[in-house]
Chains A and B, each alone.
Chain A
Amino acid sequence: METLAKLLNKLKTLDRRIIFTLTALAVIIPLVARLGIPSKQITNEVQGLYDYLDKLPPGSKVLISFDYDPQTKPECHPMAIAIVRHCFKKNLIIISIALWPTGASLADQVLTDEAKILGKEAGKDYAFLGYKPGGAVVIQKICTNFAEAFPTDDKGTPLKDISVMSGINDLTPFSAILSLSSGDPGIKQWVMIAHEQTRVPVAGGCTAVSAPEFYPYLNSGQMFGLLGGMKGASEYEQISGFKGMATAGMGAQSIVHLLLIIFIILANISYFYEKRKEKLGIVD
């Protein structure tokens, strides 16, 4: 009993360096040991996005907006890879833009790498139009006039010379709009502006911390799917039939979540012990 009391007293003043070390180990060990834990249950929002894209006829045009930066790359990049790979495998035409300056380089990496793997050709199977400043106003602009916001692709080729861009004057030729977002402008603006003005179905992926923000749009049918954080990306990888970065990261995320729960439980045991001591008038 005395040992337990001592332990609970120690917990009260636990050095945060111990917490940091345990957190670091909880991340590093599963990553080094390649502890990828696949998800058994696929959430409706991930399945919805997958099914929608899977049922689109080949040649359908999909707009993918890269609205994230390297800070959120560990969460958003795996979903970008999984979605782009799925679209290429289904022979969908990807038109890609970036509303975040650093999103352009990330988009270029994903499209170039995946196109190389699946033998796709820029201009014929996909087009990358680069970054455009202006945020939500760019979305408003392309709702009615695509070429005025993006007169060329990222290499400077005029849109009229890019075969996959033929017939695209606004957003209505697109079968889906996907935003991979970690803030504003992102999914919210695509739903509020593009979906409301053009009725083109919108879905996307975001960081786990911002996912709750989009559930009202999912439940109202304004979005047809959502990949929330690395877990959403890992579920998408799983139904797409490949193990990518997200599945590999699930082990580390699982262990860290468990560790956090243990921290919270221990802290609360210590808290209630202190409260009880105060109530009984026990002094150390």
Chain B
Amino acid sequence: MKREFPMLITVIAGLGYLLFYFIPHWPFNLIGEMFQSWVIVISAFAILLGVGSLIKVHGDRISRKTEGWPYSIILLSGVFITAILGIWKGVDVGTPFDYIFRYFYSPMGSTMFSLLAFFIASAAFRAFRAQSREATMLLVAAFFVMLGRVPIGELIWEGFPKIASWLMNFPTTAGQRAIMIGAALGVVSTSIKILIGIDKSYLGGD
């Protein structure tokens, strides 16, 4: 039953939703709309589950004093202080929650993302080599797109943005379409395999 019951739920929900898409009339429209509401409610509970899991994992790290446990104290303090202030004073602009979000969370989040620039610079220097014909084509395309997508490229030569636009509109679109069609076919086949019970990997390994 540990595997059969979740499989049954998957098949009923999957088929129900599929029928709702192709036959949006009674009773399938009611079933589909009910499933939509359920997803929204379940997603909200998933956030709570995530918070619970976070507290458990980091609570354990603090109680066992595993490596880096002081960071867990900072993380949990951040979670509780932000949540308490948000519940107590609200989350509107000008509240303490907004202050934390605007002046702590936002700059820290942007900082994490901006670190990518350093890794890309290092990776470009070490790995971006014209080792083969394909790599050379990629290199040449990257050269034009990188210069064509910044204003300094226009100042150097007005043709850079035009070449960059052509690369984005034609070769990139063709490649993206191929990837999208391939991925869509993959999604369809995997979904069918899940619905008819061939693919059980989503149930876990035991």
Q: Show the binding face of A for B, using Cβ within 8 Å.
A: 14, 16, 19-20, 22-24, 27, 37-41, 43-44, 69-74, 101-102, 104-106, 108-109, 112-113, 132-135, 137-138, 140-141, 144-145, 148-149, 155, 208, 211-213, 215-216, 219, 228-229, 231, 234, 250, 253-261, 263-264, 266-268, 271-272
Contacts and interface: CB of A to CB of B under 8 A. Distances in A.
Q: Most chain-A Cβ atoms within 10 A of its Cβ — which of B36, B142, B146? A: B36
A23 B125 contact: no
Contacts of A213: 176
23 contacts: A23-B118, A37-B152, A40-B154, A44-B165, A70-B108, A70-B110, A104-B91, A105-B102, A109-B98, A113-B93, A133-B43, A138-B40, A141-B33, A144-B33, A213-B176, A215-B172, A215-B173, A216-B180, A250-B151, A259-B121, A264-B143, A268-B130, A272-B130
Given A41-B161, A267-B125, A134 B150 contact: no
Contacts of A22: 121
Contacts of A138: 40
B110 A74 contact: yes
A122 to B, nearest CB: 11
B202 interface: no
B47 A101 contact: yes
Interface residues of B, number: 58
Contacts, number: 172
A19 B109 contact: no
Contacts of A257: 146-147, 149-150, 152-153
Interface string B153-176: 111001001000100110011001
A20 to B, nearest CB: 5
B168 A215 contact: yes
B190 to A, nearest CB: 17
A137 B151 contact: no
B139 interface: yes
B114 interface: yes
Given A74-B114, A215-B169, A40 B109 contact: no
Interface string B13-46: 0000000000000000000010011011001101
Contacts of A106: 106
Contacts of B46: 133
Contacts of B168: 211-212, 215
B112 interface: yes
Nearest to A73: B110
A246 to B, nearest CB: 11
B77 interface: no
Given A23-B117, A43-B161, A212-B176, A264 B151 contact: no
B81 to A, nearest CB: 16
A267 B127 CA distance: 9
Most buried by B among A71, A108, A112, A250: A71
A105 B139 contact: no
